[in-house]
């Protein structure tokens, strides 16, 4: 009889949306998955970053650094944005320091594959790699950098940041996937997370799978909390949660451009 395979739930980009996080965790629990890895961006955009941090510190075996987690509580940063100041003020004492001290990446083996997880790119949490990347960007995601450290280069890379899930593989079996976002998903605004299934910690070839899971939740309840707390940029939050339209695209005459690269300057 074959040994049962291990399962790991990967979540990312909760962004203060506690209602979505609770729905996703309930789905993970219902599947009997006990190991949860978080790829970062606990705070900002949504109203309850403090509570999201508390839950993730308790529930997630691995917590990684995101770009919001790095810049929002930066003590050397001066904020001229009332929204950023509001989100920062939601954090409890010590949470900002905890966020900025999170590890950059996490490596492990699964079914003979070397897996690496991080938030945005192999170099920094502040460099965005979209689904429509070029070949050089694809290859860069598997490289060792000062941020990831040395060691065997991964054959599987999972990341978040873009709020836009996808999966691809090349002829050398290098596999790149994006988890999408739990709390701030684009286009389809339904929260999404990933399940990795395989033989955890094993160097031997074995079945391996990557599954994307969408979990509906009570959007109106989350928006009600944001209104009650007086969260700034509410209209943008409502647009993202109800319609999956990025707040930066609201009102553009050319329509949403989230899935298009910016045009090069003429």
Q: What is the pLDDT of residues 201-246, one digit of tens each?
A: 999 999 999 999 999 999 999 999 999 999 999 999 999 999 999 8
Q: CA-CA distances (angstroms) from residue 120 to 68, 158, 167?
A: 11, 9, 15
Contact 44, 16 (CB under 8 A): yes
For residue 200, report the phi and psi dihedrals to the nearest 5 degrees: -70, 130
pLDDT tens for each residue of the chain, 266 residues long: 566 899 999 999 999 999 999 999 999 999 999 999 999 999 999 999 999 999 999 999 999 999 999 999 999 988 889 999 999 999 999 999 999 999 999 999 999 999 999 999 999 999 999 988 889 999 999 999 999 999 899 999 999 999 999 999 999 999 999 999 999 999 999 999 999 999 999 999 999 999 999 999 999 999 999 999 999 999 999 999 999 998 876 555 444 454 444 433 32
Provide the CATH topology of domain 6-249: Purple Acid Phosphatase; chain A, domain 2 (3.60.21)
Helix ranges (DSSP H) in the chain = 18-30, 49-59, 67-71, 82-89, 95-100, 135-140, 219-228, 234-243
Asked whether 131 and 178 are in contact (CB, 8 A), the reply is yes
- List Cβ neighbours of 36 (8 Å cut-off, separation of 6 or more): 8, 9, 10, 11, 25, 28, 59, 60, 61, 62
Domain ranges of the chain: 6-249
Q: Retrieve residue 246's tokens.
A: 């990025």
């Amino acid at each position: 009889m074959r040994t049962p395979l291990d399962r790991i739930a990967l979540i990312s980009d909760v962004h203060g949306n506690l209602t979505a996080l609770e729905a996703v965790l309930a789905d993970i629990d219902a599947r009997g998955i006990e190991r949860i890895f978080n790829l970062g961006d606990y705070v900002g955009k949504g109203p309850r970053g403090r509570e999201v941090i508390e839950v993730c510190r308790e529930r997630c075996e691995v917590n990684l650094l995101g770009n919001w987690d790095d810049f929002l509580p930066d003590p050397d940063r001066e904020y001229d944005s009332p929204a950023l100041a509001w989100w920062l003020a939601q954090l409890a004492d010590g949470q900002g320091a905890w966020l900025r001290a999170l590890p950059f990446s996490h490596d492990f083996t699964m079914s003979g594959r070397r897996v690496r997880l991080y938030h945005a790119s192999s170099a920094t949490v502040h460099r965005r790699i979209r689904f429509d990347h070029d070949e050089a960007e694809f290859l860069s995601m598997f490289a060792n950098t000062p941020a990831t450290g040395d060691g065997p280069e991964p054959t599987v890379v999972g990341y978040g940041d873009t709020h836009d899930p996808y999966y691809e593989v090349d002829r050398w079996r290098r596999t790149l996937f994006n988890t999408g976002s739990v709390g701030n998903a684009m286009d389809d605004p339904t929260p999404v997370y990933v399940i990795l299934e395989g033989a955890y910690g094993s160097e031997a070839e074995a079945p391996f799978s990557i599954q994307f899971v969408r979990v509906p939740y009570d959007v109106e309840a989350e928006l009600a909390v944001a209104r009650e707390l007086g969260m700034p940029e509410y209209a943008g939050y409502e647009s993202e949660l109800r319609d999956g339209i990025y707040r930066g695209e609201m009102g553009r005459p050319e329509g949403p451009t989230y899935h298009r690269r910016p045009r090069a300057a003429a």
